Amino acid sequence: MTRFGQNFLVDTNVANREIDYAEINKDDIVLEIGPGKGILTRLLAQHAKKIIAVEIDSKLADKLSNDIPDNVTIINDDILKVDFNNLGFFNKVVSNLPFQISSPFTFKLLDYPFSKAVLIYQKDFADRMIAVPNTKDYSRLSVGIYVKTYCRILENVSRDCFYPVPKVDSCIVELIPRKIPPFQISDEAFFFRLVKDLFVHRRKKIKGILRGKYNLTDLPYLDNRVEELTPEQIGELCNILNRL
């Protein structure tokens, strides 16, 4: 593993399938995170109008900059610190994400108006993305993904497709932003703050988390834990609290 925790994709077949899933064409401007040695970057460049590749490792960025097609721009920076708007327009995201930034990058991406993302995640993280209530994987991430996108796991990817070989398998995941939320949310910022607060105390009952902050009279789901509530039910609770 590199000093930034990257596991490089070495299977060209997997990279080509990512591009097929993303339906890349000559009108697309693609954001790639962690291009590493450029196996996906070079293939993307054959299909897309432009590639914006953000690489945190200066040595890898310098090496790639000397050996890439003309329609690829390499940016040596930390994607978590970069304002997406400063990168210029992009409409699709195709990446083999460095696993340690999966969560913060995904939450950051959800606030940007892309058209489709095809991303490789560790399998346990991908399972959390599509998890449903009353399962161990159901989390704040599951709710956020459901509210903001249509998400599906496209295929499992063996750990042997990477070097150094990681300890777990991965998945190719598709994210397509929803045009409108799946249910009414009166205040989206308040909703996501509430979701975060509730899942921090996921084993507590709702009344134990909210007591002292709100008048609990006539609130629903007080004897439930957040892991038992659907996103719609959390939304219902949110809208009531927001009115209060």
pLDDT one-digit tens code per residue, 85-112: 999 999 999 999 999 999 999 999 999 9
Interval 134-157: pLDDT, tens: 999 999 999 999 999 999 999 999
5 confidence band (pLDDT: 50, 70, 90): low
Query: What is the reported pLDDT for 3?
Result: 55
CA distance 225 to 144: 18
Query: What is the reported pLDDT for 124?
Result: 97
Domains defined for the chain, CATH in brackets = 8-177 (3.40.50.150), 188-243 (1.10.8)
Q: Is 60 exposed, middle or buried (0-12, 13-18, 19+ CB in 10 A)?
A: buried
Answer for the pair 53, 36: CB distance below 8 angstroms, yes or no: no
Answer for the pair 170, 120: CB distance below 8 angstroms, yes or no: yes
CA distance 87 to 105: 15
